[in-house]
């Protein structure tokens, strides 16, 4: 990359294109609810002689900690004779909640590939240190997903990108990339819009809040998937994800302005999920619980009966991927909901 640009020259759009997005006069409201770009999927390849020598006798869990700095948050299972991305053996990574965080593949010649899902990426404390480690080991990133969320849908939604596509804002080298829209047919499950193809460069815009179970949520995610097979993808993408997100297509640069970090995004996801759980209880069990409650002399007696006959202590499926203290997250979400309801 002699000129320091994160993509080949053939990947760039024509100069002089009009500005779009929140930085232009398009009537957008606010950018305060945009998240800062986050790494939401990462595949690292360690096949240099230096890496092979270092990791020859190192347990896979220690390899993961050495490269990604995840500490004790993620454990790696035993290597099994199961091919993964052309690596002869592989192991599954899980966190303390039992959620899958990715896979590790190992070839007979000692080369290693680590594939972290979005769940696993949440445990990486410092991505710039991961980039430094890969540089030192002569390792490389072969695939990375970079996500920007609009928590309220005020700055962008799925239709925003459909309109940009129709206006020619994705056209490069004289022709538009492949695009596909997936409609939920008003089911409330969420729509998606894809620009580009897997294995090269693909943008996926989807209704994240609806995916999480809230049919009324405007929360929208714009996720860029980059693959090293067809473009220059240096390890620096882990240090500066916003730079590479904005360079993929000209209009994306306008959205790299968010200040909401991953913690704020987690709060939004918990709030959406708690709201969906409340609606589920109200719709599916509200009347039944109301009848049961009327059969007891006091709320305390009713609650004791619930504890003994209905309530369970295991984690619900909808919250298995929530990292940290689940009860604290849910309690804070309920308090936020009460405060919003009672505030003048």
pLDDT digits (tens, 9 = 90+) for 277-307: 787 788 888 888 889 999 999 999 999 998 8
Q: Which pLDDT does position 274 carry in this prediction?
A: 73
Distances (CA, A) of 41 to 64, 133, 238, 327: 15, 18, 11, 27
> For the residues of 99-127, what is the DSSP string, one character each?
-EEEEEEE-TTS-EEEEE-HHHHTT-S-H
List, for residues 170-195, the tens digit of each pLDDT value: 988 888 999 999 999 999 999 999 99
The least confident of 160-164, 192-196, 340-344 is 340-344
Query: Which pLDDT score, from 0 to 100, does residue 339 have?
Result: 76
Q: Which pLDDT score is estimated for 10?
A: 41
The residues spanned by each domain of the chain are 8-36+147-223+243-256, 263-342
Percent of the chain at pLDDT > 70 equals 81
Q: Which of 38-42, 124-128, 188-192, 308-312 has the lowest mean pLDDT?
A: 308-312
Residue 105: beta bridge partners?
90, 113
Nearest Cα neighbor of 245 from 325, 337, 145, 160 is 145
Spacing of C-alpha 297 from chain mean position: 47
DSSP 182-216: E--TTSSS--EEEEEETTTEEEEEE-HHHHTT-TT
Model's pTM, two decimal places?
Answer: 0.73
**Mean per-residue pLDDT of the chain:** 84
Query: Are 20 and 251 contacting, i.e. CB atoms less than 8 angstroms apart?
Result: yes
Are 251 and 21 within 8 A, CB to CB? yes
pLDDT tens, position by position, 252-266: 988 887 654 544 555
Dmax (CA) of the chain: 78
Residue (of 108, 102, 57) closest to 81 by Cα position: 108
């Amino acid at each position: 990359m002699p000129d320091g640009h994160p993509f080949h020259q053939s990947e760039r759009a024509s100069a002089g294109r009009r500005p779009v997005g929140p930085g232009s006069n398009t009537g957008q409201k606010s950018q305060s609810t945009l998240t800062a770009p986050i790494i939401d999927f990462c595949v690292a390849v360690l096949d240099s002689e230096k890496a092979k020598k270092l990791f020859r006798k190192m347990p896979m869990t220690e390899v993961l900690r050495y490269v990604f700095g995840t500490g004790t948050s993620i454990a790696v299972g035993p290597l099994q004779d199961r091919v993964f991305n052309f690596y002869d053996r592989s192991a599954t990574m899980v966190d303390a909640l039992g959620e899958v965080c990715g896979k590790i593949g190992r070839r007979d010649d000692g080369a290693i590939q680590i594939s972290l899902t979005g769940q696993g990426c949440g445990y990486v404390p410092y991505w710039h240190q991961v980039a430094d480690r890969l540089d030192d080991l002569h390792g490389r990133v072969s695939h990375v997903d970079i996500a920007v969320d609009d928590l309220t849908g005020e700055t962008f939604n799925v239709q925003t990108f459909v309109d940009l596509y129709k206006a020619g804002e994705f056209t490069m080298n004289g022709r538009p990339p492949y695009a596909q829209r997936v409609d939920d047919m008003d089911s409330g499950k969420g729509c998606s819009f894809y620009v580009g193809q897997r294995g090269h460069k693909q943008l996926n815009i989807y209704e994240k809040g609806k995916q999480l179970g809230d049919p009324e949520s405007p929360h929208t995610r714009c996720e860029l998937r980059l693959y090293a097979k067809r473009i220059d993808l240096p390890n620096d993408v882990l240090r500066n994800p916003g730079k590479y997100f904005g360079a993929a297509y000209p209009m994306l640069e306008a959205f790299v302005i968010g200040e909401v970090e991953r913690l704020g995004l987690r709060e939004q996801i918990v709030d959406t999920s708690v709201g969906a759980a409340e609606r589920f209880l109200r719709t599916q069990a509200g009347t039944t619980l109301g009848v049961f409650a009327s059969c007891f002399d006091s709320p305390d007696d009713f609650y004791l009966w619930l504890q003994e006959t209905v309530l369970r202590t295991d984690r619900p499926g909808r919250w298995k991927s929530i990292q940290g203290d689940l009860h604290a997250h849910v309690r804070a979400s309920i308090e936020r909901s009460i405060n919003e309801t009672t505030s003048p």
